Amino acid sequence: MEEEADIVGKAFVEHYYQLFDNERPSLSTLYQPDSMLTFEGQQILGVDDISSRLQQLPFERCRHVVSTVDTQPSAVPGSILIFVSGSLELPDEEHHLRFSQMFHLVPTAQGNLCVQNDIFRLNYG
C-alpha cells in the first residue's frame, strides 16, 4: 500500500501544480463541498470558496518547482497524506518563494480521489 500511495501521491502532485500553473479554474474539480483549505492560516471551507480564493491570488502566472514529495497511506481506507516542499516562481520576481503544502486525499463515492484537506504555507527566513 505504501508504494501505491507514493505513486498516486506523486502523480497527483504533478497534476495539481500543472493545473494551478496553467488552468487554475480547473482546480475546483479536485475539491468537494466539504473540503477545507488552510491558506496562510486562513481556513476556507467548500469547493466554491476555495476556488474563489485561489482565483483571487495577486498573480495570474506562476510556476511551482517541487523539491520533495512525501506520502503515507492514511487510516481512512484508500486515502493518502501528501506533504510537498518547493518554490514558487513568479514573473518579474528575482527571488523564488519557498512553500510547503499538505494534501489529504480521500476516495469519493464515484471511486476517484478528492482533496479533503489542503494546507498551504509560505516558508520565510
Q: What is the pLDDT of residue 27?
A: 97
The tens digit of pLDDT for each residue in 31-85 reads 999 999 999 999 999 999 999 999 999 888 899 999 999 999 999 899 999 999 9
Site of grid cell 482546480: 27
What pTM did the predictor assign?
0.94
Q: Which three cell numbers stand for residue 93?
A: 520576481
Helices (H), the chain: 2-22, 47-55
- Tell which wins on pLDDT, 8 or 94: 8
Number of domains composing the chain: 1
CATH, residue 111:
3.10.450.50
- Decide: 118 and 95 in contact? Cβ < 8 Å: no
Question: Residue 115 is part of which domain span?
Answer: 2-122
When pLDDT is averaged across residues 83-108 and rounded to a whole number, the result is: 94
Measured distance CA(97)–CA(64) in Å, rounded = 10
Q: Which three cell numbers stand for residue 74?
A: 492514511
